[in-house]
Amino acid sequence: MAYSATLIPGDGIGPEVVRATVTVLEATGVEFDWDEQQAGLSAFEATGDPLPEATLASIETTRLALKGPLTTPIGSGFRSVNVGLRQAFDCYANLRPCVTLPNTQGPFEGVDLILYRENTEGLYAGIEYFDERNQIADSINRITRKGSERIVRYAFEDAKRRGRKRLTLVHKANILKESGGLFLSIGREIAEEYPEIAFDDRIIDNMAMQLVIRPDEYDAIVTTNMFGDILSDLMAGLVGGLGVTGSANIGDDCALFEAVHGSAPDIAGKGIANPTALIRSGEMMLRYLGETAAADAVFQALRDVYGEKASLTGDLGGTATTSEFADTLAARVRQIVAA
């Protein structure tokens, strides 16, 4: 049986890393029936709509998507389609694992962290006002009990499944007494249901400092939308940069898989982007589908190929192009699956 999934090539380096990821996923032998759809700046330029009805309808049916990064105009222009998709399909849990692979030149050895980012509200709720006359801009940081409970509970459940020992809630409740305070107090309430996982909390600025000097003291992190966005890029920096960190957006009956990074316009079209981040998202997609052996094969192949620095892309000091790297990895996946 083939899995029906929506495939969104996206903008910038998107089409390059999406093609590479499909090559690697297909090497596992798991079959996908891809429904290719447009979104983002490329869709806007082609159709006048950055999130065409056909794309929404496709995900409505498949409830599963692999997507490349989408360019969002800065300051004005259309709202982020990434955020729009996460909200439209209520993919409230954004999982961002961060694991050291060989030869990645991060400042630490053996980093193994996972971040759970609330994905539908906070400063991304889209509640913004501009008072033209007085030149005052407001962005509302909406935190709800429902939204906080479900992300904190998801984090505990997933951390438990993965055998994690500690969950740290990150907030700014000293300043954001209402929104941060609500999130923190809900975290403390739910923690009582999980005595097997140690629970503590950190203020965001301190957490940023802690992660760059002693990441090994942390295990799993749960936080609100904006802090999760920022910390996950920081965590990518601990393990070799944005080229290597994958991510999953999970809801109760829908999941969208994308990299942490954006469309990287500075390197788009050159064939040099590192597709590992989206490949790791693809690995998460396989796990989500229960294709554990295939997911393990992808991860094992990544470890093996990363052992050989020359096989890597330029961001990691290697000499491979995006497609050369994908072909090497796909060949290794086929060997592992056949063994």
CB of 158 to ligand NAI, least distance (A): 20
Q: Which of 121, 158, 229, 283 binds Mg ion (CB under 5 A)?
A: 229
Shortest Å distance, C-beta 295 to ligand NAI: 20
Task: Centre a 10 Å sphere on the Cβ of residue 46 and count the other Cβ atoms it contains.
Answer: 10
Residue 194: active-site member: no
d(C-alpha 158, C-alpha 156), whole Å: 6
Dihedral class, residue 68 (left if φ above 0, else alpha if ψ from -120 to 50, else beta): beta
Amino acid in the structure at residue 125: A
Q: Is 315 in the site for Mg ion (CB under 5 A)?
A: no
Q: Which of 305, 251, 223 is nearest to 27 (CA)?
A: 305
Tell which residue, 286, 317, 310, 315, has the closest CA to residue 300.
286
Determine which one of 200, 205, 216, 252 is catalytic: 205
The one-character DSSP state at 314 is G
Provide φ and ψ at 185, rounded to 5°.
-70, -35
CB atoms near residue 269 (< 10 Å): 11
For residue 270, indicate whether it is catalytic.
Answer: no
Q: Say whether 266 is catalytic.
A: no
Question: Least Å distance between CB 233 and Mg ion?
Answer: 6
Catalytic residue among 92, 116, 124, 154: 124
Q: Is 160 a catalytic residue?
A: no
Which residue in the shown chain puts its C-beta closest to ligand NAI?
262
Residue closer to Mg ion by CB (options 229, 291) is 229
3-state secondary structure of 201: strand
Q: How far is the CB of 317 from ligand NAI (least distance, A)?
A: 12
- Which of ligand NAI, Mg ion, none is residue 333 near (CB under 5 to 8 Å by kind)? none
Cite the active site residues.
Answer: 124, 172, 205, 229
